Amino acid sequence: MELRALGTTATVAVTRGAAREIARALLRVELDAVDRACSRFRPDSEVWTLAAASGTPVRVSELLFEALAVACRAAHHTGGAVDPTVGAAVVALGYDRDFASVARTGPALDSPARPAPGWWQVALDPATRTVRVPAGVLLDLGATAKALAADRAAGVIAGEIGGGVLVGLGGDVAVAGDAPGEGWAVGIATDAATPRTAATRTVAVRHGGVASSSTAVRAWRRGDRTIHHIVDPRTGEAAGAHWRLVSVAAASCVDANAASTAAIVWGPSAVERLEALHLPSRLVRHDGAVVTVAGWPAEPGPASPLRCSTPGDHVPT
Q: What is the mean pLDDT of the chain?
A: 86
Beta-carbon neighbour count of residue 194 at 10 Å? 14
> With contact defined as beta carbons under 8 Å apart, do 28 and 5 qualify?
yes
CA distance 222 to 204: 39
**What pLDDT is attached to residue 200?**
67
Q: For each of the chain's 317 residues, which pLDDT tens digit applies?
A: 555 545 567 889 999 888 899 999 999 999 999 999 999 888 899 999 999 999 999 999 999 999 999 999 999 999 999 999 999 998 888 777 777 777 787 887 888 889 999 999 999 999 999 999 999 999 999 889 999 999 999 999 999 998 999 999 988 999 999 988 888 888 776 555 555 555 667 888 889 999 999 888 787 778 778 777 899 999 999 888 899 999 999 999 999 999 999 999 999 999 999 999 999 999 999 888 999 999 887 776 443 444 554 444 332 22
* Helix, coil or strand: residue 66: helix
**What pLDDT is attached to residue 317?**
26
Dihedral sign (CA 9, 35, 282, 11): negative
> What are residue 228's DSSP bridge partners?
219
Phi-psi region of 240 (alpha: psi -120 to 50; beta: other; left: phi over 0): beta
User: In the chain, how many H helices and how many E strands?
Assistant: 7, 15
Q: Which of 306, 282, 284, 301 is nearest to 293 (CA)?
A: 282
Beta-carbon neighbour count of residue 253 at 10 Å? 34
**What pLDDT is attached to residue 249?**
94
* Residue 181 DSSP label: T
**What pLDDT is attached to residue 57?**
96
> With contact defined as beta carbons under 8 Å apart, do 174 and 166 qualify?
yes
* Helix, coil or strand: residue 192: coil
